[in-house]
Amino acid sequence: MRDRLLAAEKVKAIDWRDDALYLLDQRVLPFEETWHAYTTAAGVAEAIRSMVVRGAPAIGIAAAYGIALAARERFAKGGDWAGALVQDFEVLANSRPTAVNLFWALNRMRDRLARIKNNESPLAVLEAEAVAIHLSDREANLTMAQLGADLIRKHQGNLQTVLTHCNTGALATGGFGTALGVIRAAHLEGMIERVYADETRPWLQGSRLTAWELANEGIPVTVNADSAAAHLMKTKGITWVIVGADRITANGDVANKIGTYQLAVAAMHHGVRFMVVAPSSTIDMALASGDDIPIEERESRELLELGGKRVGADVDAFNPVFDVTPADLIDAIVTEKGIVERPDTAKMALLMCRKRLH
């Protein structure tokens, strides 16, 4: 399966080459495939804030490369270059608040910086750490894809019609995806009849990005309005809702793209299974429950404008871009360390003690 998954890999959104970080601009996909080059932490932070790069794991990877770039710039200036890097950590940490992968990756870079030995080349060490973060996310995707597909087979062996939300694919990760990775693996194993992709207002990660990724690979996909999801569960034989996560707390609550919570409520009502797929870098054991997760609110114009044109009345709009699904609405959390079914605090703690499965 691993080789078949790797062979099916078509899209990537993050490229580290020629002393620069290249990001595929996700604001203009699928109509334009535009890459931008970044050489500073401030540039990378702005790319995260403005959503050139998005998706929890991809944000973390980009931030790690941002530190490798900043180190180069500071080192060339001389003096206490490592001390000056504090500013770059801060600029990157302030780019978006909800995806914990950002802070996880920055902490890893900070720890590695603190452990650099006299006989090591600091710039090479920091670059290698960023590359390792990138590669290990790709490996985690492969493991989770297989585990998630096995879980689907275990519960319902026949053809599945699944619903997904936002974009959790190659564009959002260092590999080919979390929830979308599971869907890809299940498709390769002949288990997927059709994928319904919520359009994911207001950014349209579903209709622009997920539909594009799946259609490119010949996986049958139909886009639906977010508000059609409960109707689909009632009328289209949906067997699984499969989504990603931006932060999972110690009790198994899950923050993900706005609209995920109402999907979980509707899934429970209709007897549809609910799977969350995320690497352990998305798990924040420092927070007891989802109530503690900072939820990003973005500008009201993202709701009131379409393609830069005002379509809503001249009023304010409330635009939280994530919500929290309580653990008791979740059937399974799939990570590269294993699967937690019916998550709770004790099971999450046990999971985090395990080694990665790859």
In whole angstroms, how close is the CB of 178 to ligand MRU at the nearest point? 4
Residues 179-218 that bind ligand MRU (CB under 6 A): 205
- Exactly one of 136, 161, 173, 251 binds ligand MRU (CB under 6 A); which one? 173
Give the x/- contact pattern for ligand MRU in 83-112, rule: CB under 6 A: ----------------x-------------
Contacts with ligand MRU in 242-301 (CB under 6 A)?
244-246, 256-257
For this structure, is 246 an active site residue?
yes
Q: Which is nearer to ligand MRU, 112 or 247 (CB)?
A: 247
With CB under 6 A as the contact rule, the residue among 24, 45, 57, 207 that binds ligand MRU is 57
Of the listed pieces 4-12, 53-61, 228-236, 261-269, which binds ligand MRU according to CB under 6 A? Answer: 53-61
**Which member of 88, 137, 198, 246 is catalytic?**
246
- Rounded CA-CA distance 102/59 in Å is 6
Q: How far is the CB of 59 from ligand MRU (least distance, A)?
A: 7
Residues 6+ apart with CB under 8 A from 119: none
Instruction: Convert 86-107 to b/e letters by CB count within 10 Å (16 or more is b).
Output: eebbebbeebbbbbbbbbbbbe
Nearest to 297 by CA among 323, 327, 319, 329: 319
Query: How far apart (Å, rounded) are the C-alpha atoms in residues 244 and 255?
Result: 9
By annotation, the residues acting in catalysis are 246
Site residues for ligand MRU per CB under 6 A: 54-57, 99, 166, 168, 172-173, 178, 205, 244-246, 256-257, 321
